[in-house]
Amino acid sequence: MMAERYYSVIKGTGSYIPTKRVMNEDFLSHEFYDSSGEKLTKPNQEIIEKFEAITTIQERRYVNDDQTTSDIAFYAAEKAIVDAGIDKESLDYIIVGHNFAEVKNGNNRMEQLPALASRVKHKLGIKNPATVAYDLPFGCPGWVQGMIQADYYIRSGDAKRCLVIGADVLSRVCDPHDRDSMIYADGAGATILEAYNGEKPKGILAHGTRSDTVEHAHMLFMGPSYKKDTGKPDNIYLKMFGRKLYQYALENVPTAIKACLEKSNTHLSEIKKILIHQANGKMDEAILKRLYKLYDIPVVSEEIMPMTIEKFGNSSTATVPTLLDLILNGKVEGHAINTGDKIVLASVGAGMNINAIVYQM
């Protein structure tokens, strides 16, 4: 007798986009320095204009002073549970992808005890001890990897229902004297993944992950402020080798997505949407062009890759689940995902890690 084949389907989604808008013009009064500690001599207006041209970011969202990472993760999770119409006590797993755990206003110390997932379960008021809550610090691809882990649980029969969250507060861990700080934002996105054993394939069809650590482990790292006399010499901040990261992504993300598509026996022409980590607008456009080139498709469809980075910035693990939730709720103009559509969920980030999921609605 053949064992039942379970597929993992998205039952509900939710997101939290902070209300505090920070425009590019808000950085005009900043003092920017380079990695050697030298103050940049170019006018801030010129620095900001070049930044926007490279990244397409015009504004980003920050949490309010009284909010923490677990708060916004909880808000997104609560919305996903309501959207799914489920009993929260029926969850088998709560998985939270993040980079910096709990970060409170006033300092950039990261609280990893208790785990964000434990804090979220507590705030949700879930009493069931069989609801296992744990964190997944996996760089920006943390939410996608959480979905992959949840899929393994569901396919094995170990779980019927999982809550997967991506949440980060980057505004409190980036160096205000580093121009790269203009990239980062805050946010949270969540999904309810549920077992499905119908006759036709549905939900997660295939996934793939790679980690390149020998040469690329320290592409993103923590380091002191570029301004030497900040008065907080022990603080460390999010740093990156931007140009090297850009090149790494262009060389490896398209092939990783293609490998995942082949694993699911899906051709790129069958894909309706590619929801990719909102890291850098121009970089994501270049990744898409290289992916199309791998299939010898000369014309890139503009409708296939929705983008929100120009308004929300890079909120790390939250970008993909937030984008998914917004599209499913009709909040991204010109974009929709319908029943039967095949989509790709993909991300790249610290590790360096890349992952992708082929999903059928």
Characterize 246-284 residue by residue with b for buried, 16 or more Cβ atoms within 10 angstroms of its Cβ, and e for exposed. bebbeebbbebbbebbeebebebeebbbbbbbbbbbebb
Cβ-contact 330, 317 below 8 angstroms: no
Q: Is 10 helix (H, G, I), strand (E, B) or coil?
A: strand
Question: Which residue in 260, 277, 353, 355 is the catalytic one?
Answer: 277
Q: Counting beta carbons within 10 angstroms of the beta carbon of residue 170, is it exposed (0 to 12), middle (13 to 18) or buried (19 or more)?
A: buried
Specify the pairing of strand 186-196 against strand 161-169: antiparallel
Identify the CA nearest to 191 among candidates 89, 79, 279. 79
Specify the pairing of strand 110-111 against strand 7-16: unpaired
Give me the half-sphere count of Cα atoms (radius 13 Å) on the Cβ side of residue 333. Answer: 1
- Residues across the chain: 361
Question: Residue 340 and residue 273: Cα distance in Å, rounded?
Answer: 12
Q: Is 335 a catalytic residue?
A: no
Q: Is 277 a catalytic residue?
A: yes
Question: Which residue in 108, 314, 353, 355 is the catalytic one?
Answer: 314
Question: Which residue in 140, 162, 174, 260 is the catalytic one?
Answer: 140
Q: Is 260 a catalytic residue?
A: no
**Active-site residue list:** 140, 277, 314
